[in-house]
């Protein structure tokens, strides 16, 4: 192990090993080997990162809007020019295929472009002569040091959902990326330095619960933006709130796609395959439950199976459709659900457990898997499996499908496939899910709308990016001003009124 390269923390504009002795493995999932090791921060390392961010804050908040905007534009240009380099890092540590990695970066880049528009989102409001001779106005100011904690499945995009907006708004940041694929975060921090960001404005610490808890408890950290699984999101929300921080905690998902009998079944089958198996199902907006109306279910399942037979699973650098899962442990856990499916009476239409693979035999492989007639009481339906397993649940019609979706504790994304505008409109109004697609299977909003689910998929009240993202990273101050006018002198203890 000793000859392996270490992924270091990034504090105050430089790589550092920190004080902690602990490290963790970073796998190349397509080869099934430990490719490098990542440092695990102790609380003292988090303190050092927060101190660096706190020291950088007074100067950073004084940097003019014009200069902050120029740095964001330079960052945008560098990221666009060097996205292949980042995609290669994503593929090597996460396993997703290169084309998918490029897609992840493109969606992150959108948020950087939004951050370039920060003057429009940091403006206040002004009411002249609110009372005679009195003006009232609001200004929007940064919070200070903000914390970001991100998951393994989008090692570039999820940090990019938050830090460009936080930084553009005048905050300084400590980012704790997933320890499973930590290199992208450091690569992005270096790139921002190249773009002209002063040292200490963006810091990266690696690690596990120890690092996370240190951030949640640090009195200097003003807010926490979290993305990950539901149990951890709930813990983050409760702990950070108890410590007086502003929190947005995005959790797990079980996303349903309802297919009505009048839908274009070829379009629906394409969409189900793309949204079910892209990134090996390791997407928070993946479709994992296909809700098919009984009258078209056989035909739809056949069309999906036909498309699945053409998918190539393998090394993400070899032009395959789908890569490996993140770890062997996760691969085994996902595969374990297939035994549960059979025991619960579902039918295994396509079994991915022994896939033909274009890649190393030791990779963490599981091929695309299709399970039909999954009972709604089965763990295969209820749990977020987070792998290439598409479950089909059959329903009698729209009402039963809607009730199933609304009965799920999750509410991240959902989609309806239909040619009936009235049904789609009803669905849009009635479904209790935060992001809805109409003939669009993965309805991730564009950067200038905000991203976030409902129910157990989101804890907090201010979503990620878009207008809500800017609101999260700023605090509003209201100012009531009167310039000296002798006619308003005199003592009056009554509560101020406007006239
Ligand atoms: P995870 O919850 O295991 O980890 C997320 C982050 O929390 C990581 O940085 C990790 O180090 C940290 N963490 C893990 N256990 C912790 C603990 N006990 N205490 C404190 N911190 C801890 O999630 P993951 O496996 O990395 O990512 C996959 C999950 O993220 C899925 O559930 C997926 O749906 C979800 N996700 C949600 C969204 C969304 O927008 N809602 C987006 C992407 C991923």
Q: Give the chain as a 3 state SS string.
A: CCCCCEECEEECCEEECCCCCCEEEEEECCCCEEEEEEECCCHHHHHHHHHHHHHHHHHHHHCCHHHHHHHHHHHHHHHHHCHHHHHHHHHHHHCCCHHHHHHHHHHHHHHHHHHHCHHHHHCCEEEEEEECCEEEEEEEEECCEEEEECCCCCCCHHHHHHHHHHHHCCCEEEEECCCCCCHHHHHHHHHHHHCCCCCCCEEECCCCHHHHHHHHHCCCEEEEEEECCHHHHHHHHHHHHHCCCEEEEECCCCEEEEECCCCCHHHHHHHHHHHHHHHHHCCCCCEEEEEEEHHHHHHHHHHHHHHHCCCCEECCCCCCCECCCCCHHHHHHHHHHHHHHHHCCCEEEECCCCCCEECCCCCCCCCCEEEECCCCCCHHHHCCCCCCEEEEEEECCHHHHHHHHHHCCEECEEEEECCCHHHHHHHHHHCCCCEEEECCCCCCCCCCCCECCEECCEEECCCECHHHHHHHCEEEEEEEEECCCHHHCCCCCCCCCCC
Could you identify the atom of ligand 1 that is nearest to the CA of residue 230? 32
Compute the distance from residue 23 Cα to the ligand 1 centre, in Å: 19
Compute the distance from residue 336 Cα to the ligand 1 centre, in Å: 21
Q: Check residue 1 and give its pLDDT.
A: 44
Could you identify the atom of ligand 1 that is nearest to the CA of residue 236? 20
Q: Check residue 2 and give its pLDDT.
A: 52
CA distance 343 to 335: 14
Q: Which residues line ligand 1 (CB under 6 A)?
A: 149-154, 158, 176, 178-179, 208-209, 212, 227-229, 232, 250-253, 284, 384, 386, 412, 453, 457
Of all protein residues, whose CA lies closest to atom 42 belonging to ligand 1?
284
Compute the distance from residue 31 Cα to the ligand 1 centre, in Å: 24
Compute the distance from residue 293 Cα to the ligand 1 centre, in Å: 33
Pairing of strands 145-149, 221-227: parallel
Compute the distance from residue 200 Cα to the ligand 1 centre, in Å: 25
Tokens 């060097």 found at = 82
Could you identify the atom of ligand 1 that is nearest to the CA of residue 150? 9
pLDDT of the chain along its 499 residues, tens only? 457 999 999 999 999 999 989 999 999 999 999 999 999 999 999 999 999 999 999 999 999 999 999 999 999 999 999 999 999 999 999 999 999 999 999 999 999 999 999 999 999 999 999 998 899 999 999 999 999 999 999 999 999 999 999 999 999 999 999 999 999 999 999 999 999 999 999 999 999 999 999 999 999 999 999 999 999 999 999 999 999 999 999 999 999 999 999 999 999 999 999 999 999 999 999 999 999 999 999 999 999 999 999 999 999 999 999 999 999 999 999 999 999 999 999 999 999 999 999 999 999 999 999 999 999 999 999 999 999 999 999 999 999 999 999 999 999 999 999 999 999 999 999 999 999 999 999 999 999 999 999 999 999 999 999 999 999 999 999 999 999 877 767 888 999 887 7
Q: Which of 229, 278, 409 to mutate to test the pocket of ligand 1 (most atoms within 8 A of CB)?
A: 229
Of all protein residues, whose CA lies closest to atom 6 belonging to ligand 1?
151
Could you identify the atom of ligand 1 that is nearest to the CA of residue 154? 43
Pairing of strands 357-358, 313-314: parallel
Q: Which of 224, 228, 287, 444 to mutate to test the pocket of ligand 1 (most atoms within 8 A of CB)?
A: 228
Q: Is 320 a catalytic residue?
A: no
Of all protein residues, whose CA lies closest to atom 24 belonging to ligand 1?
151
Of all protein residues, whose CA lies closest to atom 34 belonging to ligand 1?
252
Compute the distance from residue 151 Cα to the ligand 1 centre, in Å: 4
Could you identify the atom of ligand 1 that is nearest to the CA of residue 384? 32
Of all protein residues, whose CA lies closest to atom 19 belonging to ligand 1?
209
pTM: 0.97
Compute the distance from residue 230 Cα to the ligand 1 centre, in Å: 8
Which of 11, 50, 280, 284 is labelled catalytic?
A: 284
């Amino acid at each position: 192990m000793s000859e392996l390269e270490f992924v270091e923390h990034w504090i105050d504009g430089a790589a550092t090993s920190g004080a902690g002795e602990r490290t963790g493995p970073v796998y190349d999932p397509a080869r099934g080997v430990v490719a490098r090791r990542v440092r695990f921060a102790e609380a003292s390392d988090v303190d050092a990162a927060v101190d660096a961010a706190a020291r950088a804050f007074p100067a950073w908040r004084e940097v003019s809007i014009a200069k902050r905007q120029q740095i964001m534009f330079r960052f945008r240009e560098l990221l666009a020019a060097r996205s292949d380099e980042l995609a290669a890092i994503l593929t090597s540590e996460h396993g997703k295929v290169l084309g998918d990695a490029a897609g992840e970066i493109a969606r992150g880049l959108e948020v950087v472009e939004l951050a370039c528009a920060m003057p429009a989102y940091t403006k206040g409001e002004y009411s002249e002569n609110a009372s005679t001779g009195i003006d009232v106005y609001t200004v929007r100011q940064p919070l200070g040091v903000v914390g970001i904690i991100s998951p393994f499945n989008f090692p570039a995009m999820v940090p990019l959902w938050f830090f460009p907006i936080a930084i553009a708004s005048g905050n300084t940041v400590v980012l704790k990326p997933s320890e499973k694929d930590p290199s992208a975060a450091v690569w992005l921090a270096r790139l921002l330095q190249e773009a002209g960001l002063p040292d200490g404005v963006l810091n990266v610490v690696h690690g596990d619960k120890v690092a996370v808890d240190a951030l949640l408890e640090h009195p200097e950290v003003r807010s926490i933006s979290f993305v990950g699984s539901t149990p951890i999101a709930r813990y983050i929300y409760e702990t950070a709130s108890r410590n007086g921080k502003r929190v947005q905690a995005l959790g797990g998902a079980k996303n349903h796609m309802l297919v009505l009998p009048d839908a274009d079944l070829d379009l629906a089958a394409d969409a189900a395959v793309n949204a079910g198996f892209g990134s090996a199902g390791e997407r928070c907006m993946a479709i994992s439950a296909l809700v098919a109306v009984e009258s078209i279910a056989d035909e739809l399942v056949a069309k999906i199976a036909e498309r699945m037979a053409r998918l190539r699973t393998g090394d993400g650098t070899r032009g395959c459709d789908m890569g490996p899962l993140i770890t062997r442990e996760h691969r085994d856990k996902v595969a374990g659900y297939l035994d549960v499916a059979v025991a619960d009476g579902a039918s295994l239409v396509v079994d991915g457990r022994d896939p033909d693979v274009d890649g190393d035999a030791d990779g963490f492989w599981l091929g695309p898997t299709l399970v039909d007639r999954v009972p709604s009481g089965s763990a295969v339906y209820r749990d977020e499996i987070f792998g290439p397993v598409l479950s089909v649940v059959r329903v009698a019609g729209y009402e039963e499908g809607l009730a199933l979706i609304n009965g799920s504790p999750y509410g991240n994304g959902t989609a309806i496939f239909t040619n009936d505008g009235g049904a789609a409109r009803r669905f849009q109004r009635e479904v209790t899910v935060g992001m809805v697609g109409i003939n669009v299977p993965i309805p991730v909003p564009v950067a200038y709308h905000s991203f976030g689910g409902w129910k157990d998929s989101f804890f907090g009240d201010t979503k990620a990016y878009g207008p809500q993202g800017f609101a999260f990273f700023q605090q509003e101050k209201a100012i009531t001003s009167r310039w000296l006018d002798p006619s308003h002198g005199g003592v009056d203890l009554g509560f101020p009124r406007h006239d």
